[in-house]
Structure 1
Amino acid sequence: MYADITIKAHCHHPAEVESILLQHNAEYKGLDAQKDTFYGVDYGKLKLRQGTIENVLIHYNRIWAGEAKQTEVMMYLKNPGSATIEAVCGGLEVISELRKLRKFYFIDNVKFHIDQVEGHGQFFEIEAIDLDGSVGTKTLKQQCSYYKELLQIDDEDLVHDSYIDL
């Protein structure tokens, strides 16, 4: 199980955001066409992400922690096979599907997304990740706050909902 802190916001000037990231030596990982399928579960969210770069099956719960969300991840499977998907999701109700184009950037343990979400517009995410518990929630929050300020994200642009809840 790993944890992350995430800030999501409307992105009015994606080219400016990309320029700032590149000026700070962010590593561009690519453009991913993604389809997210969400299944009905009793706790949190169960999502199957199918993309050209990211393919994951993830069960998680997000909790508000100030201006960011703290994510508790119960299951994270990279590149799940059809048998695994059937074993975990088979018989569950599909509650929503979402399509987006996502650009990925990384600086150390912080992942940045610039998303074009079908039917909803452009968004930006800062995701500070602690894979093994060595970074700590306090540092993750500090990283998110630092990048929120660096990227000039205004509080009124923050998005408190998941894309499927918009």
Structure 2
Amino acid sequence: MRHLNVEIKVRVDDLEPFRKRLEAMEAAYTGTDTQRDTYFVVPEGRLKVREGTIEQGIIFYNRPDQAGPKPSQIERTDPGKALAAVHAVLQAALPVDVVVEKTRSIYWVDQVKVHLDELPGLGSFVELEAVDTEGTASESDLHAMCTELMEDLHIPTDALVDRSYSDLVREHNNEA
């Protein structure tokens, strides 16, 4: 499935204030997922296999590295029970770039998916993804949804992250 989303990521000291604001907004809580994302070396964009208790699949995306709302063109599939086999094929064919492990609480506010993420060694992050799976919203519509929710959740714009978790983990691993 191909779709467009606009997302932001911000590093925070504590996820609890955001969790409380989401609960006060009556955001739909999907659950807490333990995820392992294996990123592969590809000529452009990012290709990962996500193994999780709630979300899993094979995801390819292209997105600029910039702070603030950024558009992503995403191609995603969930091979179901064949995920482990597809993962093995990809590992046989492509070099692994980095593995990202995280605990993710997932909420929905209308078309915006909110992630409250904890990454070992990196800390806490809030990520917003305004998602257009129907092909009816424009990039500017998604950008506006993201920006509005940033304001509603009091997301600090001075801590916006311009890169993928894969970049942050790779840098952290190189420093260790």
TM-score interval, normalised by the smaller of the two chains = over 0.9
Quote how far apart the aligned CAs of 1:151 are.
Answer: 1.3
Larger fraction in strand: 1
What code does the residue aligned with 1:148 have? M
Aligned length: 165
Two-structure CA RMSD over aligned residues (Å): 1.6
Residue 152 (str. 1) matches residue 162 (str. 2): no
**Unpaired stretches in structure 1, ≥5 consecutive residues:** none
Partner of residue 45, structure 1: 46
Q: Provide Cα deviations, 1:36-57, integer angstroms capped at 9, x if missing partner.
A: 1000111100000101111110
Aligned pair partner of 1:105 in 85, 104, 107? 107
Q: How far 1:26 sits from its partner (Å)? A: 0.3
Counterpart in 1 of 2:86? Answer: 84
1:4 is matched with 5
Identity of aligned residues (%): 33
How far the C-alpha of 1:152 sits from its partner, in A, is: 1.2
| Contact 2:101 2:120 survives alignment (8 Å) | yes
Q: For 1:43, what is the secondary structure of its paired residue?
A: coil
Kindly provide the CA deviation profile for residues 90-132 of structure 1, in whole angstroms up to 9, marking residues without a partner as x: 3100010011100000112110000001110000001100012
> Which secondary structure does the structure 1 equivalent of 2:148 belong to?
helix
In 2, Cα distance between the equivalents of 1:66 and 1:100? 21
Letter in 2 for 1:76: R
**Which is helix-richer, 1 or 2?**
2
- Find the aligned partners of 1:113 and 1:26 in 2 and give their Cα distance: 12
